[in-house]
Chain A
Amino acid sequence: MGYHEPLTEIGEFPLVQPGTTMRVVTETVAGVTENPAPKGWWMLFAVALSFLGIFGGTIGYLFWRGVGIWGNNNPVYWGWDITNFVWWVGIGHAGTLISAVLFLFRQKWRTAINRFAEAMTIFAVICALIFPGIHVGRPWLAYYMFPLPNQMGIWPNFKSPLLWDLFAVGTYFTVSLLFWYVGLIPDFATLRDRSKTQVRRVVYGLLAFGWRGSNRHWQNYERAYLILAALSTPLVLSVHSVVSFDFATSLEPGWHTTIFPPYFVAGAVFSGFAMVMTLLLVTRQVFKLEHIVTMKHLDLMNKIMLVTGSLVGYAYAMEFFTAWYSGNTYERYVFMNRAFGPYAWAYWAMVSCNVISPQFYWFKSLRQNIPLMFVISIVINIGMWFERFVIIVTSLHRDFLPGSWGYFHATIFDFCTYLGTFGVFFTLFLLFIRWVPMIAIAEVKATLPEADPHFSAAGTGSHASHGSHGSHGEAHGAAAGVHAAAHGVAE
């Protein structure tokens, strides 16, 4: 594919604002890690650290007293712990979607946001993994979850979706970390080569593994990236599907449905994009990255939220239809109870946040309205938390026997555990944007017009004629001519 000007008539657009050169990309992104942090960063970091303190205190008290400090009761055995787990895992999905699925579909606009979104994935999965670890009651025995030899001579049950979940989330975390790191190697090399101090030179040098931009290396590197994307795509679809099996393979009314895997995956992508949007809007503002993360990127992400939000709305409607059509008394009751029972407030909060709020994005002016998209991204995150709460708590609190019905009241420790994981997330995230290139430098450079061997700065008219549709050989020959002409001009 030869170089061609973006064809605005068919909706193509420049991926970075015109005039952004390789040097500008390097300076802008690497500069964030080299210059003193802006005041906004310190303010956010102070807030994040105080939430991290709340987390430490709450977890310490939880380990001392046990899970009885939470509101979980009989019959609501799973409360905020698993709600938070599912919510955080879901947040992570947008990162993999952006880095892997959009890569396979050759959506080059992803380069501005993929590093950012991948980091979000990793930190969100760390937050998610905390909950299965601490909800077991005796966290020093959490290793029972793993297929490890132990003193009782027993092994985990491979027919249990809870074990599948361990494999799925564990694999997801590991593969996301590898994918992220592979993407970072050339950018760590950039930081190494720009470093002014010995400490930076040694640390970034070690992290860069001696990368020297060799094309023989790039060949294997690009193949590795492609294979990792191809592995991550089915992986990300499997993770939330397996999380949904935790519910769907039980016999609980409201959980035992076949729509759960796709419904959970759509919801995960939806909430993940909302979280990327929240974080991106703030970072873009604080670090002045408007020329790399353009309005067009935000507009495209809003379109994805419109699609996935509508898919989630469809799933809500279909759950109701299936409950009615099944003719099963318990199933019907669970859904009537969701919408009109004691948790109706949570149900309608979920519907308003997830189904109604993204509908604003049908209009282009609203898709490009930054204050509105910031508000909607937060509303969606709240709505998706309520979705998991509704699924877990409203199904459990009234199932088969009215004699064992109950109601779930969250305690202050439920709140603090949840808020505390924000401290974990944002502390890690702020350290990341401070010390690691938060935009994929090498990948953005590869999408610049001058990165294309067929691009000629001598005149944009000359290559417009041979266009982009010739075979590689033709375009190549034509470009050689352009090159020769450019050379002549230079001499």
Chain B
Amino acid sequence: MSAPTPTRAAKKRPALLLAQFESTADVLHAAEKVREAGYQKWDVHTPFPVHGMDKAMGLPDSKLGWIVATMAIIGFCSALSMYYFMNGVDYAIIVGGKPGFSPPAAVPVYFEVTVLLSAFGTVFGMFHLNGLPRHHHPIFESDRFAAVTDDKYFISIEAGDSKFDVNETRGFLENLHPTHIELLEEAVS
């Protein structure tokens, strides 16, 4: 029944192939080739956002705006209902002969709460769309990858991609003239 204890190496499987490039132009043109080859689960890693890369990768537009718009509406409505409940229903303070709930009298509050919730939507929505925080990722196994936050550029193709084949994909990446290619593995869970 019991299988022989596998070695540490045997418990690993390929996670992604990582190719390193030295300039923005090189990585941009390589990204266009990867897109044309039809890969889906792949990514470009750069120290700063490279102009034109979204187009080169063929990415659809970010969905963040919809999250923010939703949060803005929620913010406006919650400010208005807070005022309505607090000064209109629960505890009316009559100032200047106005009714307890007098919508035009608290516009700055609606504005501020709208902005506040929109900003929460922007930041936490961005984290949600990006799947961050994520402190464990096979890509961090590479020692070279530390330079991605300095002055190097990388393309990664994940093993989960339907077109991925360790040898074929490596050969494909070699044709893009990277300065280095490496196979990163992850533990089989």
Q: Does B123 contact A (CB under 8 A)?
A: yes
Question: Does more than half of chain B's interface fall in helix, strand or loop, or is it mixed?
Answer: helix
The residue of chain A having its C-beta at the shortest distance from the C-beta of B49 within the complex is A218
| Contact among A206, A210, A234, A476 for B137, CB-based, below 8 A | A210
Q: Does A479 contact B (CB under 8 A)?
A: yes
Indicate if the CB atoms of B52 and A472 lie closer than 8 Å: yes
Of residues 6 through 35 on chain B, the ones whose CB sits less than 8 Å from some CB of chain A are 23-26, 28-29, 31
| Contact among A153, A190, A235, A238 for B149, CB-based, below 8 A | A190
| Contact status of A159 and B125, CB under 8 A, knowing A167-B109, A174-B116 | no
| Contact among B24, B59, B146 for A194, CB-based, below 8 A | B146
Report chain B residues within 8 Å CB of A22: 47, 150-151
Instruction: Give the total of B residues in contact with A, Cβ under 8 Å.
Output: 72
Chain B 35-48: CB-based contact to A (< 8 A → 1; otherwise 0): 00000000111111
| Contact among B26, B43, B95 for A215, CB-based, below 8 A | B43
The residue of chain A having its C-beta at the shortest distance from the C-beta of B42 within the complex is A216
Indicate if the CB atoms of B48 and A442 lie closer than 8 Å: yes
Report chain B residues within 8 Å CB of A154: 91
Q: Does A21 contact B (CB under 8 A)?
A: yes
Indicate if the CB atoms of A222 and B49 lie closer than 8 Å: yes
Chain A 444-463: CB-based contact to B (< 8 A → 1; otherwise 0): 01100011111111000000
| Contact among B44, B49, B86 for A158, CB-based, below 8 A | B86
In the complex, what distance in Å separates the CA atom of A389 from the CA atom of B157?
A: 63
Report chain A residues within 8 Å CB of B49: 215, 218-219, 221-222, 442, 446
Indicate if the CB atoms of A451 and B86 lie closer than 8 Å: no
Q: Does B106 contact A (CB under 8 A)?
A: yes
Indicate if the CB atoms of A219 and B132 lie closer than 8 Å: no
Indicate if the CB atoms of A224 and B43 lie closer than 8 Å: no
Q: Does B187 contact A (CB under 8 A)?
A: no
The residue of chain B having its C-beta at the shortest distance from the C-beta of A159 within the complex is B105
Report chain B residues within 8 Å CB of A1: 51
| Contact status of A157 and B137, CB under 8 A, knowing A174-B116, A220-B126 | no
| Contact status of A227 and B96, CB under 8 A, knowing A211-B132, A212-B139, A451-B24 | no
Indicate if the CB atoms of A238 and B122 lie closer than 8 Å: no
Q: Does B172 contact A (CB under 8 A)?
A: no
| Contact status of A227 and B65, CB under 8 A, knowing A245-B108, A456-B25 | yes
In the complex, what distance in Å separates the CA atom of A205 from the CA atom of B135?
A: 8
| Contact status of A155 and B125, CB under 8 A, knowing A193-B146, A193-B148 | no
The residue of chain A having its C-beta at the shortest distance from the C-beta of B69 within the complex is A227
**Could you tell me the distance in whole angstroms from the C-beta of A20 to the nearest C-beta in chain B?**
12
| Contact status of A223 and B64, CB under 8 A, knowing A21-B151, A156-B86, A157-B87 | yes
Chain A 416-442: CB-based contact to B (< 8 A → 1; otherwise 0): 000000000000000000000000001
Chain A 174-204: CB-based contact to B (< 8 A → 1; otherwise 0): 1100110110001001101110000000000
The residue of chain B having its C-beta at the shortest distance from the C-beta of A165 within the complex is B108
Indicate if the CB atoms of B87 and A209 lie closer than 8 Å: no
Of residues 73 through 126 on chain B, the ones whose CB sits less than 8 Å from some CB of chain A are 82-83, 86-87, 90-91, 93, 95-96, 98, 102, 105-106, 108-109, 111-113, 115-116, 118-120, 122-123, 125-126
| Contact status of A189 and B149, CB under 8 A, knowing A174-B116, A178-B119, A182-B126 | yes
Q: Which of under 10, 10 to 19, 20 to 34, or 35 or more describes the interface residues of A?
A: 35 or more
Indicate if the CB atoms of A167 and B112 lie closer than 8 Å: yes
Chain A 470-491: CB-based contact to B (< 8 A → 1; otherwise 0): 0010001001101100110000
Indicate if the CB atoms of A186 and B48 lie closer than 8 Å: yes
In the complex, what distance in Å separates the CA atom of A224 from the CA atom of B91?
A: 39
Q: Does A213 contact B (CB under 8 A)?
A: yes
| Contact among A153, A206, A227, A451 for B48, CB-based, below 8 A | A451
Of residues 118 through 146 on chain B, the ones whose CB sits less than 8 Å from some CB of chain A are 118-120, 122-123, 125-127, 129-130, 132-137, 139-140, 145-146
**Could you tell me the distance in whole angstroms from the C-beta of B139 to the nearest C-beta in chain A?**
6
Q: Does B181 contact A (CB under 8 A)?
A: no
Q: Does A307 contact B (CB under 8 A)?
A: no
| Contact status of A214 and B86, CB under 8 A, knowing A168-B108, A209-B132, A209-B133 | no
Report chain A residues within 8 Å CB of B180: none
Indicate if the CB atoms of B134 and A219 lie closer than 8 Å: no
Indicate if the CB atoms of B45 and A483 lie closer than 8 Å: no
Report chain A residues within 8 Å CB of B51: 1, 451-453
Report chain A residues within 8 Å CB of B127: 209
Indicate if the CB atoms of A443 and B115 lie closer than 8 Å: no
Indicate if the CB atoms of A175 and B115 lie closer than 8 Å: yes
| Contact among B25, B86, B119 for A228, CB-based, below 8 A | B119
Q: Does B174 contact A (CB under 8 A)?
A: no
26 contacts between A and B (CB under 8 A): A1-B51, A161-B108, A171-B119, A174-B116, A190-B149, A190-B150, A193-B147, A205-B135, A212-B139, A213-B148, A214-B43, A215-B53, A216-B57, A224-B123, A224-B126, A231-B119, A234-B111, A234-B115, A235-B115, A443-B48, A445-B48, A451-B48, A453-B50, A455-B25, A456-B25, A483-B29
14 further A-B pairs in the complex, CB-CB below 8 A; given A157-B93, A231-B122? A26-B151, A157-B95, A164-B108, A167-B113, A182-B123, A212-B137, A212-B148, A215-B46, A215-B54, A215-B59, A224-B126, A238-B115, A446-B48, A451-B50
The 5 closest A-B pairs by CB, nearest first: A22-B151, A155-B86, A209-B133, A224-B126, A193-B146
